[in-house]
A = this chain, B = another copy of it.
Amino acid sequence: MENKKRGILERLNAGEVVVGDGGYVLQLERRGYVKAGHWTPEAAVEHPEAVRQLHREFLRAGANVLQTFTFYCSEDKLEISGNVTNITGAQINEAACDLAREVANEGDGLVAGGVSQTPCYLNSQNETEVKAIFKKQMDDFLKKDIDFFMAEFFSYVEEAVWAVEVLKTSGKPVGATLCISPEGDMSGVPPGECAVRLVKAGADIVGVNCHLDPLTCIRTVKLMKEGLEKAGLKAHLMIQPLGFHTPECNHSGYLSLPEFPFALEARAMTRWDVHKYAREAYNAGIRYIGGCCGFETYHIRAISEELAAERGFLPPASEKHGLWGAGLQMHTKPWVRARARREYWENLLPASGRPTCPSMAKPDDE
């Protein structure tokens, strides 16, 4: 039955909005299933019910794509992490594919097999070795039923290009996102040039994920778009930014913030921040719009609600959400009832309740 679903490129080529899912590792860390530091995804084997539930939430929130919970799931990374002993990367990859598939089939979801940056690249920059790692992970996925591939969270476009080159051999569509700032990748390759290299390597969809807040990521994707246009190339654009406000970040992104990763709460976006983001991303021509670390279920729902007219429907989870605060209309306190309107939430400047804290930090990479 799932093979009747329209594929990712079919949808994007038709001009549809594809809503991505949110962040898995940070959310599952908070739920007690992922260890911060190495952030490996052994929960797919150890606690499948927790991963399944988060997939299901994203699907209910309107996500069209569920990414396999396989972040950092290369053998070299798993070994360094020390987080797993009796479980192989292949076991995790395969279990993760099954979980994503199971939930995707509960609705109109596609499954993207995800690969990410490797320690091997940082240590060796050896193309053969790095590609072998991606090949191994790809082969795990190909034993299962996935719809397309996503190479994500790359700091160096070179490594991402290698990933794309490997994944393209599968014959499936490939997306690729870099975790870079508008200044470019860690080697100084500007976003426009990064996009060109990825598309030339075969990527069907390019964009950015993680490391920086939505408005900054939109700027980076715009630069990618300009680079592609100048080069006469075409590709679909995607974005999966942080769900945190990081206005003061530089090149290294939120890793350099003093609050990373255990005190980011005060930076979390509200659902109303996400409405603005989704609109701006759409206006920038981006059609694959999701989130990364910090994007929780209700943030994904907010994307779906902001773009409901463009998509033609609201997601299942909106049954439990009055648009723009409408659920407050019957509240017993008059001042709470007064919040049941769009203008209120759009213009609110939320206080932090932390009078001895600053509003901006000094990043450690300054």
Question: What is A's interface to B at a CB cutoff of 8 Å?
Answer: 29-38, 49-50, 53, 56-57, 60-61, 80, 122, 213, 244-248, 252, 255-272, 296-298, 301, 316-317, 319-322, 325, 327-333, 335-336, 339, 345, 348-362, 364-365
Contact = CB atoms under 8 A, between A and B. Distances in A.
A333 B255 contact: yes
A31 B30 CA distance: 13
A326 B258 CA distance: 16
Contact of A30 (B296, B327, B330, B331): B296
Contacts of A359: 351-360
A264 B328 CA distance: 15
A67 to B, nearest CB: 18
Given A333-B255, A359-B359, A321 B352 contact: no
Nearest to A268: B265
Given A32-B320, A35-B322, A357 B350 contact: yes
A242 to B, nearest CB: 10
19 contacts: A30-B296, A30-B297, A31-B297, A32-B317, A37-B329, A256-B333, A258-B350, A261-B328, A262-B325, A265-B269, A266-B350, A266-B351, A268-B268, A350-B357, A352-B352, A352-B354, A354-B359, A355-B360, A358-B358
A354 B213 CA distance: 12
A116 to B, nearest CB: 14
Given A333-B252, A336-B255, A353-B244, A36 B322 contact: yes
Given A252-B333, A270-B265, A359-B355, A36 B350 contact: no
Given A333-B252, A358-B358, A267 B351 contact: yes
A346 to B, nearest CB: 11
Nearest to A35: B320
A316 B46 CA distance: 13
Given A29-B320, A30-B296, A267-B353, 19 more contacts: A30-B298, A32-B317, A33-B320, A35-B322, A50-B57, A245-B352, A248-B351, A256-B333, A257-B351, A258-B348, A259-B351, A262-B272, A262-B325, A263-B270, A263-B345, A268-B268, A333-B364, A352-B354, A356-B359
Contacts of A316: 32
Given A38-B330, A266-B353, A353-B246, A365 B335 contact: yes
B353 A256 contact: no
Contacts of A38: 327, 330
Given A265-B265, A298-B32, A360 B364 contact: no
A327 B36 contact: yes
A30 B316 CA distance: 13
Nearest to A337: B37
Nearest to A326: B37
